[in-house]
Structure 1
Amino acid sequence: MTDFNTERFRYDGEKPLKIKKAPTKVDDLYEDDAHYEAILRQQASEIDKWQERMFAHNRYGLLTVFQALDAAGKDGTIQHVFTGTNPAGVRVYSFKRPTDQELDHDFLWRSWRELPERGMIGIFNRSYYEEVLVVKVHPEILTQSQRLPEKITEDLDKLFKHRYEAIRDMETFLHRNGFPTIKFYLHVSKKEQADRLIARIEDIEKNWKFEEGDVKERDFWDDYQDAYETCINETATDKAPWYVIPADDKKNMRLLVGRIIIDELKKLPIENPEPDEKRFKELQKLIAVIKAQ
């Protein structure tokens, strides 16, 4: 059995993340493509089983958050990891640039609206964390575009401190109410990101995924690394841990994410409903009715 050792990627506030020391690639967890596909299918089956059990128990939900720089592989990871999971049991929401309506509310408002129900797995492709990442790298978004009271933006350090606190409070509140949160940062190297962006340009079928702004954002690479390091260290808790996943190999990345989701689902005190013998006997009588129809 492959030893994934996912604890080495887990940050729960006990140890600080030093992002420059965090690996973007690890030894392969699979022997070849066939072995990779076999592990992926097995993981998909397990996720589906545990989601169904969570749905039947109907006391818990799970929120998974995916954050990464451009071309790290968020979309593909979500697609491959959750292929095989009953689509009625998952909710995927991709957060884009805030709309006018969203800007007229606090920065967490649009995320609250998309949280999963009990029994469901919620998947956030980007999230409320953009509000302490992109806007930290580009503070003019806060001061010019987000319609915040002028006094709040006079001290941006204080503003971000309060946002980290609000996020921790939100995730603690969710956990207390039966909605644990798992957060993934897909950690890609600058060179690998460059190769993937070039591949998007060279492949006509992938041109739609390429945005000129992705190239401009590479100029802020170090700023983003600092923003992620600070963000993860400020918001990593035992109840809402971060997993910093090496993303240079997409197959390894997907297998690690799948394994972590299974392990976190297994931690929940969920079980199938106890059988009701009286109801079972009543249902047996309906078999004759169905056959006679």
Structure 2
Amino acid sequence: MQLGMIGLGRMGANMALRLSRGGHDVVGFDPVPAARTGAEGEGLATVASLEALAERVDAPRVLWMMVPAGAIVDATIASLQPLLSPGDVLVDGGNSFYQDSQRRAAALDDAGIAYLDVGTSGGVWGLAEGYSLMIGGHEDAARRLSPVFATLAPAADRGWARVGPSGAGHYAKMIHNGIEYGMMQAYAEGFAILERRQDLIADLPQLAELWRHGSVVRSWLLDLTAGALAGNPQLDGIAPYVPDSGEGRWTVAEAIALDVAAPVITQSLIERLRSRDDNAFADKLLSAMRNAFGGHAVKRD
């Protein structure tokens, strides 16, 4: 199948490479010349504009966007829509908010263009291991792209599925990432406790490797954790600052809207926010309060 890939950052380029190596005819576009040059160095064909991409891909077109969530997606669609025709399919494989995806799908449907929201998990390992694909949108369009999904997934018969109507793919990915937040926080806290008792557990990399085999807590995240500890047991040079992609926030907001208790996911998000507070004003105020009501000593900078 022929398709165009929009966005040749690391993940977009890796997805295009996996498709190309799987026998698909892939043409890529990125507004950053260096990204196009890098993709060309991997053997991918690229073009220098969206107009050239629309001309290069045969109708009915399949165009796959891998661009950051938010205004950039809307701007890309606004630039693309005059170039598209009824019967074309536009895929958003990024981490868009599901309600934005529903809005975009409805608007494009009026023009006869199918919009698929595809929650994509696999990160930088997807090129070699395959991607988990959560697909939302028109059933006919999803069926048409099944050869593409089967190539991107770990195997043709697993790791991908149409999970529901428009918005369902990005909704599933949102909750997936919320769960991921909680799992990562649990591993981080457990190993932090272990690190404090080096008199008992002196070799964290050894323990992480041990848990990878037969343990109830074994997982791909633990595999990655073990690899990180083996390469840098003291985590030297890594700042205690944890960003978030936004999907954890959306998951917490959704839980509140649905009256669903999600304390683990919520607290894991709060811990990420806390990691960014260099000033830690709240902690300073807590210390001042303890001093005020109980005369407890205040540790000075």
> TM-score w.r.t. structure 2 length?
0.28
Provide TM-score, normalisation by structure 1: 0.29
